[in-house]
Amino acid sequence: MLKDGQLQFLQEKARVVRRHVLRMIGLAGSGHPGGSLSCVEVLVTLYFTVMRIRPEDPGWPERDRLVLSKGHAAPALYAVLAERGYFPVEELWTLRKLGSRLQGHPDMRKTPGVEVCTGSLGQGLSQAVGMALAGRMDGADFHVYCLVGDGECEEGQIWEAVMAAAHYRLGNLTVILDHNGLQIDGPIRQVLCPEPFPEKWRAFGWECVEVDGHDFGQLYDSLLRPERPSSVPRVVVAHTVKGKGVSYMENRVEWHGKAPGPELLRIALEELER
């Protein structure tokens, strides 16, 4: 359970992160606002409450890891990392610019706090499996979190990794499925339906819970690491709204990968002032 006052703090962080995301993408002139805004609460919960991390020492071996398998949500991750102190907030405005440490998709060699190189969908979860295996081999206590998109589950490699994680009994791995229902070409149910998620993941041997992906209380309770060592990997299906927080972007497929112009950016930032 979240403690008193924590909820307000997290809500405020999410609001600030959303404003960063929009300004970053607006300044860059390109990027993916829809899927960045849908996972803001997930990332804020992880980085501000659940994960054991040391922003001043990003390579700390015992740190919990977050693998952003849906790499196009990089702006949300960068904004959270900056707010958490991994690098200065001012650096966010260099997103996608030549020479920037903030690449269009996550680059572990450039950005402090970024764990893997993603952006080609379907690959992050396999890497998370490798990290969880390494942790177990070393008897390390870290937990691996992996944020996967719902459209991303159309990639076959996801299911190879899902199978492997259960086979290797990786209780130190938690997947958060950002289930916003939309992909570039339309609703996931129309393009190539990867549902039903809970049934599929459970059939592959995972523990599954469903939460409101914008509700901090539910996210916190579901993302806390298991109290006792577990041998079953866990998926948290987070029901989310693509473009969450900006009226004209919410549930609109065309805002998957488009930057708002100056006027629309102004409107969006205004909406997020309160």
Partner 1 sequence: MKRHTRDAYAEALVELGRKRPEVVVLDADLSVSTRTARFAEAFPDRFFNCGIAEQNMLGIAAGLAASGKIPFVSTFAVFASMRACEQIRQSIAYPRLKVRVVASHGGITVGADGASHQCTEDAGVMRAIPNMTVVIPADATETAWAVHQIVDIPGPVYMRLGRPAAPVVYPDASRLRWGKVTLLREGSDVVLLGTGIMVSRCLEASAILEAEGVEAAVGAVSVLKPLDEESVVALARRCGAVVTAEEHSVIGGLGSAVCECLAERYPVPVRRVGIGDVFGQSGEPDQLLAHYGLTPEAIAEAALEVIRRKQS
Which residues bind to partner 1, rule: CB under 8 A?
Answer: 61, 67, 107-109, 115-120, 122-135, 137-138, 156-157, 160-161, 163-164, 167-168
CA distances from 233 to 143, 171, 183, 243, 272 (A): 11, 4, 26, 29, 36
**20 and 268 in contact (C-beta within 8 Å)?**
no
The minimum distance between CB 105 and partner 1, in angstroms, equals: 9
The minimum distance between CB 134 and partner 1, in angstroms, equals: 3
Instruction: State which residue, 161 or 176, has the beta carbon closest to partner 1.
Output: 161
Instruction: State which residue, 130 or 217, has the beta carbon closest to partner 1.
Output: 130
**31 and 96 in contact (C-beta within 8 Å)?**
yes
CA distances from 94 to 82, 102, 139, 184 (A): 12, 7, 39, 25
Question: Which residues of the chain form beta strands (DSSP E)?
Answer: 65-68, 144-149, 173-179, 182-183, 186-187, 207-212, 234-239
The minimum distance between CB 173 and partner 1, in angstroms, equals: 10
Instruction: State which residue, 15 or 105, has the beta carbon closest to partner 1.
Output: 105
Instruction: State which residue, 45 or 123, has the beta carbon closest to partner 1.
Output: 123
The minimum distance between CB 57 and partner 1, in angstroms, equals: 16
